[in-house]
Amino acid sequence: MALLDIFAGAVLPIVAVAAVGFVLGRTSDVDTDPLNTVVVYVLAPALVLHSLATADFSGETIAKMTVAVTAYIVGMVVVAEGVGRLLGESEPRLSALVLAATFPNCGNYGIPLSDFAFPGGGRAAAVLYLAIQAVLIYTVGVYVASRAGGGGGLQGVRRVLRIPLVWAVPAALGARALGLVPAADATAMQTLQLVGDSSIPVMLLILGLQLARTDYGAALSQAAVPSVLKMVVAPAVAVAVALAVGFGDATVARVFVLESAMPAAVTPVILVGEFADDLDVGGVSVPEYVSTVILVTTLASIPMLTALIALLESGMVI
């Protein structure tokens, strides 16, 4: 009953909204590119600004989350790279495997799930995680994706400077440090909250739309290794990192583990599409390969995350 309650209270609302997007994607021709642009340039930055400006986080908590997310990403890159090389993978598949196994969908899946699973602090901690990963995925992630295309591609890292989501982090923290954050009931903050809150259902609808467009086909049999790394190894690495960092706030620690255990992120599809869209291995394009991992891990995440939330709430893990 406890698992059913957790599923109904935390996972089912996420699945239901994403399912609406999936059905919409199957029955109509909805272009997700404009929606992604609105989320990246307007809705998500507003969510980050409001959440970080109003969250009751100490500087120590922010620093520990930064260290933890960085350690997790670096650790998973090393593990995935090592496993891929042991299995004889080469470019462009190796870089695609690393991206799919490393970066979790901590935004349009992780934020709402953390909010439902840990009300009263889960959303703010998840937003902090997202903000830190955004910097890493547009730096480390761009570098790894550029290898799949056979080049350094380091100039692509500059794109991080054009992503408002990244600038929202120092803006919010700077406003906090200088005491410039308006009162919670001020018109500016209420407007910011309204815009930011709207990002959550839009993110879930985009997730469903993207899953509906996934053409897995022949790539399904090739998705096993990155899927196992993402859904089994990644949570274990996250638990080890959380214990090593020693979060003072249990909710922040549990959200960190939950966010790290999310299925594969969608952004790597965009990255490999930019650098290796015309490459394929065994008749499967690199974007199709990553998209299939996203589909497999998203489906597998429903029972796995339900069980993980139960473990986290019980205190048996963190």
Q: Does residue 130 contact residue 110 with C-beta atoms inside 8 Å? A: yes
Which residues face 281 on adjacent strands?
284
Q: What are the tokens at 212?
A: 């509906």
Q: Does residue 130 contact residue 136 with C-beta atoms inside 8 Å? A: no
Residue 233 neighbours by CB under 8 Å, 6+ apart: 76, 79, 101
For the chain, the C-alpha Rg in angstroms (whole number) is 19
Task: Please state the three-class secondary structure of 88-123 as a single string.
Answer: CCCCCHHHHHHHHHHCECCCCCHHHHHHHHCCCCHH
**What φ, ψ does residue 317 adopt, rounded to 5°?**
-100, -55
DSSP H helices, 149-285, are 164-177, 187-197, 199-212, 224-228, 234-245, 250-260, 267-276
| Surface-to-core class of residue 314, CB atoms within 10 Å of its CB (0-12 exposed, 13-18 middle, 19+ buried) | exposed
Per-position b or e across 132-143, b if 16+ CB within 10 A of its CB: bbbbbbbbbbbb
**Taking Cα atoms as reference points, which of 243, 224, 294, 227 lies closest to residue 72?**
243
Q: What number of helices (H) and strands (E) belong to the chain?
A: 17, 2
Q: At 101, which amino acid appears?
A: A
The list of the chain residues with pLDDT below 70 reads 1, 149-161, 214-219, 273-274, 277-278, 281-282
Helix 59-86 with 93-102: angle, nearest 10 deg: 150
Q: CA 177: distance to chain centroid?
A: 27
3-state SS class at 223: coil
For residue 259, the model assigns a pLDDT of 97
C-beta neighbour count of 56 within 10 angstroms: 8
For residue 155, the model assigns a pLDDT of 54
Q: Does residue 99 contact residue 141 with C-beta atoms inside 8 Å? A: yes
3-state SS class at 149: coil
Residue in the structure block whose two tokens are 């309204």:
194
Interatomic CA distance for residues 269 and 103, integer angstroms: 11
How far is the CA of 231 from the CAs of 87, 146, 227, 245, in angstroms? Answer: 19, 25, 6, 22
**Taking Cα atoms as reference points, which of 90, 92, 104, 33 lies closest to residue 255?**
104
Interatomic CA distance for residues 44 and 211, integer angstroms: 20
Q: What is the pLDDT of residues 51-101, one digit of tens each?
A: 888 877 888 998 999 999 999 999 999 999 999 999 999 888 899 999 999
Q: At 250, which amino acid appears?
A: A
